[in-house]
Structure formats: C-alpha cells, structure tokens
Amino acid sequence: MDFSEIIKQIIQSTSFREGLERISDNYSNLKQENHIRDLILEELNQRFEQTFKAFAEHPRINNTRVDLSIINQKDTLNPFKIEFKYQFSGDYKQLSDYRFVIRRDFEERQSDLFILVISHWDREKKRSFDNLWGIKTDLSKNIASQSDWKDNILNSFRGFENTELKTIEKIVVQTPFRAEYYFYLLRRT
C-alpha cells in the first residue's frame, strides 16, 4: 500500500481543505504542526480498513517519538514511520539551511516519509488581524519577504538517495486572513 499517495490524496481532498481552513481560523496565533498532523491522522483512519491504524507520537525510538505512524495489525513491529514538520517561509534563512533537518528527521531516524508544511502570508494582513484581537505573538517575523524560500526548499530536498519528492499545489485559506500552505512529501523508493 502506497501510504504517501494516500496522504497526498487526503491533502488534495475537499474535506482536508475545509479542515485546514478551520485550523487556520482557530489557531492563527500558533504553529499548527500538531493540528495539521492530527487532521491527516483522522483522515487516514477514516479511510483505513480494520487492518491499518494511524497513531500520533508513536512509537518511541531512542527516547524520541515518531510524529505519525501507520501500523498494520498483522505486523505491529514494523510501523510506517512519518516525520512531520511545519515551518514558516522565513525559517532557517528562508529555508536555505533546512537540509540538516531533513537529514536528521528523515535519514538518521530512518523515517519512511517526511512531510513538510510551509506556511506563508502577507505580514501586514496578519499583523492587522493580531492587533484587532490583541494578539502579541509575532509569527510574521518568520515570514519571508521574498520568494527565494521556494527554490531554497527544493534545493534542500535534492541529493537524498533512493527518494521521491512529491509537491502539492499550494492550498490557500481565507480565514481569518489569506494564508498559503505548501506541502512537500519525501518518500523512500
């Protein structure tokens, strides 16, 4: 079973887009990694037959937790391990220094799939929204002012052997302000 393709289909689905809109609307003052991961987990479990089940923060390996795993009930000792990351477009020098994160979380942890979500928005629109509600966290400081990050992240994914990168067309949400979400799935071949 190609779990990366199933996850790609989930991310491209209407129900996921609606869920992402709710997450953006309700958690605009937070880094949304766990909320998006949990939405994918819920969508996976809705699609699976009784043989497979997705779990968050399981299993524990060398004192760390796998962000998301898919377990085949017939082979519980070999879960499909997914590392999940959420970044802002300006993180890690507009993502030019991101290769080490991929190497650590995908290669060194021997993950089967690495999912990266990058969030980007108009800084002034976000600040206006935050000011309206008295929100003091300034997540916009982590948003790139230029689009170099798009090339930088693709370069960061290059050079990992026996892998395939799947990019998904950006998802745009409108509430509580316009925001773009970019999804990258790096899987082993």
pLDDT in tens, the chain (189 residues): 899 999 999 999 999 999 999 999 999 999 999 999 999 999 999 999 889 999 999 999 888 999 999 999 999 999 999 999 999 999 999 999 999 999 999 999 999 999 999 999 999 999 999 999 999 989 999 999 999 999 999 999 998 999 999 999 999 999 999 999 999 999 999
User: Which residue range(s) make up the domain with 58?
Assistant: 3-188
CB 39 within 8 A of CB 16: yes
Structural domains in the chain (count):
1
Q: Which residues contact 4 (CB under 8 A, 6 or more apart)?
A: 113, 164, 166, 185, 187
Orientation angle between helical segments 14-26 and 33-47, nearest 10 degrees: 150
pLDDT given for residue 82 in this prediction: 98
* Torsion sign, CA atoms 105, 91, 170, 55: positive
Contact by Cβ (8 Å): 176, 127: no
The model's pTM = 0.96
Helix (H, G, I), strand (E, B) or coil at 149: helix
* pLDDT score recorded for residue 1: 86
**What is the model's pLDDT at position 150?**
97
* pLDDT confidence of residue 143: 98
What would the DSSP string read from start to end of 74-133?
TEEEEEEEEEEEEEETTHHHHHTT-HHHHIIIIIITT-SEEEEEEEEE-HHHHHHHHHHH
